[in-house]
Structure 1
Amino acid sequence: MTLQKQIQNLKQYNGKKRENKVFSVYLNTSPEQAGKKWEIELKKALNNLAERTKQSDSHEEKNQAKTIIQKVDTEIKNNTSELKRGLVLFTTADEDLWFFKLLQVEVDTHFHWGDEPDVEQLEQLKYSYPFTGIVLLQQDKAQLLETEIGSLISETNYTLNLNTDEWREHQGPQGDDLTQGGSKKDEFKERVKENQKRWFKNLAFNIEKKAKKEGWSQLYLIGEKKEIETLSTMFNRRINKIIPSNLLGSNTDKILDTAFES
């Protein structure tokens, strides 16, 4: 389900009709914060929710709050090792509504208790970090990361087949490196001058076809300066960002951090 569809579903959720309270959490978990500021903020917010609902005339609301406090605390603690720069969580006590995303971008810490999820900041994030394809290139290998609101959606790898001059799409590790050592390296160097533009044109065609099918809003290119500048000329669509850095094979978090730096 696309994020836009998820947001539409969230906006249509009516907790009052279903007699369900909704807890909305936006938590900045950036590692640059002093200590673990997010832990203090989360604990304070959960304590405030407990105190607030103690004053409620509704026994059901009190019970829902207790369940949600435990649920949110457990879910976030269980994901501590996976935390990146931010997270978004919406939930009801019975999980009739449940939305949880870890983000590679920061959010403004905010908590809301009410009859509907507070999606305002989520919509802002979607606008600021739309559906984006990030292409990393290094000679005969390429990697495509699809992201939205700072979250990795999918990863696809491409390897150039020197026998057919076609880019083979596959998941996971990229296989043998045709550019490392011996006769294969020499063969690759000899053929680069003659064929690089055609190779890059084929890659750009594959990427543009996928971009159109999936409905990307933006396209980023990352790689060695001359290579990605050449690749960028092969596209019929706008390139939103070019980053001259050899990051292919790097940790995904590092790649996304670099891509989303302002």
Structure 2
Amino acid sequence: MDLNKELKQLESVERGGPDKVFTMYLNTDPSDPEQQGGEWKIHFKNGIRNFEHYLEESDDKEELRNFQHVKQNVENFIRGNEQQFRKGVIVFATADEEVWFAIRVQMRLETEFFWQETPQLEQLKKLKEEYPKTGIVLVQQNEVRVIESYLNELDMEKHFELDVNVDDWREKTAMGPGNPTTQKDDLNARFEANKHRWYKSVAPKLDKLAKDEGWEKIVVIGEPGQAQALQDQMNKQPDEVINKNMLDHASERIIEEVFA
């Protein structure tokens, strides 16, 4: 999903009269102490009901019909996706369905509902700023792992390993032990002697990924000497360096560390 494109389209939406835009930010985070009993279902029902009651009392039958059509579509989305909910749900919708934007996100939201002439975009813009498309580069001697995160979720992952016997970086298609014929002590010695040359040869692959994927932020993670040596060879300098060895950690844990 290209959120920049979606935001641009949503910013251009303006409706008048009874044909308004529905906006919903719904906190469904199961780790939230206030959500332990699935309270989001009550908040969702109450938020929808409040608008419906208001429109019934206003006696604007056309606007009520529009809202009820939107309500039906949103309820269908909720029912169809509720088993896969993460931390939040965002919906923008109109009765004619020219506007329909509905996503599940891995960030906690503040529950809000709006029925007005334009979509309410503040929370979505804030999420985009806080969780940009990020290239996370983990380095450990002759291994480099790349994780791409967007909106706090894993988008893509690659793993490169240097075959020290032929000095050639190769992308691994499956995780597993590498360079089995290279002893650890020998690798350590060769790494210290060759790390700048080794990282200089892998840096163009990382720079190309950053350009092709449109990374808005780059984070390098590794032990101090290794992270610095790789950083020195990259054209696009990292926004942040984390001096930890996390190469073998789960991708979710790594993303959590970056956006903590």
TM range (shorter): 0.7 to 0.9
Q: C-alpha separation between the residues in 2 aligned to 1:15 and 1:78?
A: 28
Deviation of 1:81 (Å): 4.2
Q: C-alpha separation between the residues in 2 aligned to 1:15 and 1:251?
A: 45
Superposed CA deviations along residues 195-233 of structure 1, whole A, max 9, x for unmatched, are 332222233322123323444332112234443233223
Question: Aligned AA for 1:7?
Answer: L
- The worse-fitting range, judged by mean Cα deviation, of 129-138 and 243-252 is 243-252
- The aligned residue for residue 131 of structure 2 is 129
Q: Rate the CA distance shift 1:39–1:224 in 2: closer, same or farther, 3 A.
A: farther
Deviation of 1:40 (Å): 3.1
SS at match of 1:199: helix
- The aligned residue for residue 106 of structure 1 is 108
- The aligned residue for residue 196 of structure 1 is 195
Q: Rate the CA distance shift 1:205–1:45 in 2: closer, same or farther, 3 A.
A: same
SS at match of 1:145: strand
Deviation of 1:10 (Å): 0.7
Deviation of 1:117 (Å): 1.5
- The aligned residue for residue 52 of structure 1 is 54
- The aligned residue for residue 4 of structure 2 is 4
Would the aligned equivalents of 1:221 and 1:242 in 2 still touch at CA under 8 Å?
Answer: yes
Q: Rate the CA distance shift 1:63–1:31 in 2: closer, same or farther, 3 A.
A: same
The total of aligned residue pairs comes to 256
Would the aligned equivalents of 2:142 and 2:191 in 1 still touch at CA under 8 Å?
Answer: no
TM-score of the pair, normalised by structure 2? 0.80
- The aligned residue for residue 174 of structure 2 is 174
- The aligned residue for residue 256 of structure 1 is 255
Would the aligned equivalents of 2:136 and 2:220 in 1 still touch at CA under 8 Å?
Answer: yes
Q: Rate the CA distance shift 1:229–1:103 in 2: closer, same or farther, 3 A.
A: farther
Deviation of 1:85 (Å): 3.1
Aligned Cα root-mean-square deviation (Å) = 3.0
Gap runs ≥5 in structure 2: none
Would the aligned equivalents of 1:105 and 1:260 in 2 still touch at CA under 8 Å?
Answer: no
SS at match of 2:205: helix
Superposed CA deviations along residues 74-122 of structure 1, whole A, max 9, x for unmatched, are 4234434433333322122453212233333333222211232111222
Q: C-alpha separation between the residues in 2 aligned to 1:158 and 1:89?
A: 38
- The aligned residue for residue 158 of structure 2 is 156
- The aligned residue for residue 118 of structure 2 is 116
Would the aligned equivalents of 1:102 and 1:151 in 2 still touch at CA under 8 Å?
Answer: no
- The worse-fitting range, judged by mean Cα deviation, of 160-169 and 199-208 is 160-169
- The aligned residue for residue 29 of structure 1 is 28
Question: Aligned AA for 1:85?
Answer: K
TM-score of the pair, normalised by structure 1? 0.80
